[in-house]
Chain A
């Protein structure tokens, strides 16, 4: 099996650039729909014994002294989330709950109530952004030390590509971006890097043992050699993520979705993007320390 990946590089590069541009555009115009963790505010999640009509719930709350109320189902018809813009008081959650119970005529159970102060939200947002940049920076340094600078540029650009597109999809679809999704994005950075490193590792190894091959063919060969592994690992991971997405419950729904998207994109980018960038930087054998080990030579295929 030998798929001419590098022959598709121009087309793939166009696709990638287009996806990144669309994502950046959406992030700039539409932005991310930040969840409570980042915006601050109050929400309360309740479970009804019988599925309620959301309009009735809204009317009920409209009579109370609540501002900017939104009422939505959360995963199932009996689960309802109420968000509001009221200033925090320690009794707010209980007041809403008793309003919803409508003098005990409706059976409602409190699942969770959350309040995040505006300042805390802002700090979490800053911290999250910083964490993401820090992760990219550390990865860049590690790869530069373990491999070589061109590899480091290639893998970090590939990671940024994955993160931007995942964020872009969240922005385009208007999915809520909360702390768990941020965690997922960081995990995607780790995972996608894992894939890229495996490919880079093989490229480095092949540069040492395949002396008469052009970088173009060599990279193509390396990708083909690792393709089996790349696909199998991505598949096992995607399997468990699909399981988490369907069975993990509503509160980690977006978390698993972000991982699913991120890992799909990450697999694509470790095959196409990272290698493509290496070629674009004119990677040569001399870039890697030419210190062939004796035993490696013996095992040459």
Chain B
């Protein structure tokens, strides 16, 4: 019989709709402003006692707490409103002390029965939630240079032990060049180095008086150094971001040399930027003796601005990379200091060096990699940005070695408590393998986020009303069917967003609104076909049947092409624009289901199988 669905089809549709409603439901529960508690060290945990301390501090400060709970990631304190949350943060931070990280967060209030089946609200993008987005570029040439610098000192050592006399070693633009006075030295060195350091390419040349060996990376070695620099920086950035105590941060690789960092809900962007972009590291070096070879001595200034200088040995005992743990505190005179413990390898290296150097001075050198950018006019007259990186090395302390140093010691000479705590954080999180630059930054204030949500929801509501009113007036009863399908389309779309944990952005909401306008298209196509068939004199059941059938291929073709474009948009776009592509493509898919299947089901239910009734279309 025409226009009759078998029972299972109705049941299937009901099931899909029921699932849609359930998975879309969590979006109706507003998020709670909350504070996320976590710990830095493995020695401390967040437990009921921690929460009790926090609760007591809040009670003393007169701030209402909604709920406190211990979670797998630490603890969560929920508040009734944003003001309480903001007021509570310093109170809690002071009460719990330095070992705990307190971060602002929004936590979903999804009821337990919903979250137990994996339902949760859609993720909000930074433009709706507020926060910072950074795009960082890893300076791979600098990483290559660093690696060559290290290789240079190793090569010098082995040439010295083999008593090969070289004049100088220079590293310039990814190539190392060793100068010799005699050709036999050059040949001996070449043989030795090629044997010992096989990951490099060697070339020889002479300029009439001197002989050179030029050393560069092989293609594979270059790629490996670059990949390592990126990987290492990713790890370090993850550690740093974790130290910042941001809830749900994102640290992700993009392309061959870029890293995306997204910190939702971060208010103090200045601190975040300082810590993420910091390239500070430490080096421990001995002061050079008076008889030291000038080529092996660096003269560095002190950091206190006094202009004093000291002559230090070029060779580094250990760097900040050997630091296992660091924390900041104050010395007996109330000046900031950093307590450092070294890892096993660093500790024994330190012990070995200081054992023979008791009575000599050891310097702690503070290194910061910086970059200057300037604009250079290229051949085509266009201005291009050229970055030059350099490092600033200053001595923060120079002290006499009293006894053999072991695994843990402290360093002083820092400017402020903020500096000591940030240095401690950087040492804990690890240094960056290569300098990084900010190539893009977007900060969205929390009030703009809230405003964007309000505007987005408002336009969605108005848009929905306008479209529904129009359909009702134009297609009467059939318009009502289309409207029900349209409403279900939005429910299904939200359910899909939640299930895929896709990110909702403001252009994403615009995409939903646009989908509303377009989703009725399929129904318009079908209904205008049905009207045509009726006009051609077909009985109503026939008209419905052929209206749906004949419109189907058109709908399919039209939607597939739009879908193709949406996919391209997803590939090309970034951030908010990707959000638009996601809602647009999901909207197209769900609207095909609702406009064709769900509308048909309603029509079948009302008109199907009856004698040709008059259609209100």
- A249-B557 contact, Cβ under 8 Å, with A114-B441, A135-B568, A244-B510: no
What total of chain A residues lie within 8 Å of the partner, measured CB to CB?
74
Note all chain A residues with C-beta closer than 8 A to B550: 205
Q: Which one of B36-44, B92-100, B511-519 is at the A interface? A: B511-519
Are A236 and B470 in contact, CB atoms less than 8 angstroms apart?
yes
Q: Which one of A27-35, A55-63, A182-190, A212-220 is at the B interface? A: A182-190
Are A93 and B443 in contact, CB atoms less than 8 angstroms apart?
yes
Contacting residues of chain A (61-87) with chain B, CB-CB under 8 angstroms: 87
A sample of 17 cross-chain residue pairs with beta-carbon separation below 8 angstroms, ordered by A number, consists of A111-B447, A112-B442, A112-B444, A117-B437, A128-B572, A131-B572, A139-B564, A179-B574, A183-B573, A187-B584, A190-B584, A233-B524, A236-B518, A239-B470, A240-B463, A244-B463, A248-B456
As a 0/1 sequence over residues 536 to 564 of chain B, the CB contacts with chain A under 8 angstroms (1 = contact) are 10000000001000100110011111111
Are A259 and B571 in contact, CB atoms less than 8 angstroms apart?
no
- CA A244 to CA B546, docked complex, whole Å: 36
Q: Is A118 in the interface zone, CB < 8 Å from B?
A: yes
Q: Is B507 in the interface zone, CB < 8 Å from A?
A: yes
Are B518 and A233 in contact, CB atoms less than 8 angstroms apart?
yes
Contacting residues of chain B (266-314) with chain A, CB-CB under 8 angstroms: 269-270, 273-274, 277
Q: Is A90 in the interface zone, CB < 8 Å from B?
A: yes
Q: Is B241 in the interface zone, CB < 8 Å from A?
A: no
Are B558 and A256 in contact, CB atoms less than 8 angstroms apart?
no
Q: Which one of A3-11, A18-26, A192-200, A274-282 is at the B interface? A: A192-200
Note all chain A residues with C-beta closer than 8 A to B127: 251
Q: Is A160 in the interface zone, CB < 8 Å from B?
A: no
Q: Is A211 in the interface zone, CB < 8 Å from B?
A: no
- CA A238 to CA B520, docked complex, whole Å: 13
Are A237 and B518 in contact, CB atoms less than 8 angstroms apart?
yes
Q: Is B605 in the interface zone, CB < 8 Å from A?
A: no
Q: Is B211 in the interface zone, CB < 8 Å from A?
A: no
Q: Is B451 in the interface zone, CB < 8 Å from A?
A: yes
Extra inter-chain contacts (5) besides given A180-B580, A252-B510, CB under 8 Å: A135-B564, A179-B576, A202-B554, A248-B455, A251-B452
Note all chain B residues with C-beta closer than 8 A to A179: 573-574, 576-577
- A256-B553 contact, Cβ under 8 Å, with A248-B456, A301-B536: no
Contacting residues of chain A (137-195) with chain B, CB-CB under 8 angstroms: 138-139, 142-143, 146, 179-180, 182-183, 186-187, 189-191, 193-195
Q: Is A47 in the interface zone, CB < 8 Å from B?
A: yes
Q: Is B185 in the interface zone, CB < 8 Å from A?
A: no
Cross-interface CB contact of B561 among A47, A87, A194, cutoff 8 Å:
A194
Instruction: Give, as a whole number of angstroms, the nearest-CB distance from B569 to chain A.
Output: 5
Note all chain B residues with C-beta closer than 8 A to A112: 442-445, 448
Contacting residues of chain B (224-259) with chain A, CB-CB under 8 angstroms: none
Are B561 and A190 in contact, CB atoms less than 8 angstroms apart?
yes
Q: Is B586 in the interface zone, CB < 8 Å from A?
A: no
Are B440 and A116 in contact, CB atoms less than 8 angstroms apart?
yes
Q: Is B458 in the interface zone, CB < 8 Å from A?
A: yes
Are A191 and B562 in contact, CB atoms less than 8 angstroms apart?
yes
**CB-CB nearest 4 A-B residue pairs:** A131-B572, A237-B517, A190-B565, A117-B439
User: B: which residues have CB within 8 A of A?
Assistant: 127, 135, 137, 269-270, 273-274, 277, 373, 384-385, 437-445, 447-448, 451-452, 455-456, 458-459, 462-463, 466-467, 470-471, 474, 506-507, 510, 513-514, 516-518, 520-521, 524-525, 528, 531-532, 536, 546, 550, 553-554, 557-566, 568-569, 571-574, 576-577, 580-581, 584
- A182-B451 contact, Cβ under 8 Å, with A120-B135, A187-B514, A247-B458: no
- CA A113 to CA B463, docked complex, whole Å: 30
Closest to B578 in A: A183
Q: Chain B at the A interface: mostly helix, strand, loop or mixed? A: helix
Are A183 and B565 in contact, CB atoms less than 8 angstroms apart?
no
Note all chain A residues with C-beta closer than 8 A to B471: 236
Note all chain B residues with C-beta closer than 8 A to A88: 373, 438, 441
Note all chain B residues with C-beta closer than 8 A to A288: none
Instruction: Give, as a whole number of angstroms, the nearest-CB distance from B561 to chain A.
Output: 5
Instruction: Give, as a whole number of angstroms, the nearest-CB distance from A109 to chain B.
Output: 6
Are A236 and B520 in contact, CB atoms less than 8 angstroms apart?
yes
Q: Is A284 in the interface zone, CB < 8 Å from B?
A: no
Note all chain B residues with C-beta closer than 8 A to A180: 507, 576-577, 580
- CA A238 to CA B521, docked complex, whole Å: 12
Cross-interface CB contact of B565 among A186, A229, A252, A259, cutoff 8 Å:
A186
- CA A134 to CA B565, docked complex, whole Å: 9
Instruction: Give, as a whole number of angstroms, the nearest-CB distance from A136 to chain B.
Output: 9
Note all chain B residues with C-beta closer than 8 A to A239: 463, 466-467, 470, 517
Note all chain B residues with C-beta closer than 8 A to A229: 524-525, 528
Are B574 and A124 in contact, CB atoms less than 8 angstroms apart?
yes
Q: Is A99 in the interface zone, CB < 8 Å from B?
A: no
- A187-B459 contact, Cβ under 8 Å, with A91-B273, A110-B445, A117-B439: no
Note all chain B residues with C-beta closer than 8 A to A114: 441-443
- CA A138 to CA B566, docked complex, whole Å: 12
- A146-B513 contact, Cβ under 8 Å, with A186-B565, A247-B458: no
Q: Is A286 in the interface zone, CB < 8 Å from B?
A: no
Q: Is A51 in the interface zone, CB < 8 Å from B?
A: no
Closest to A142 in B: B561
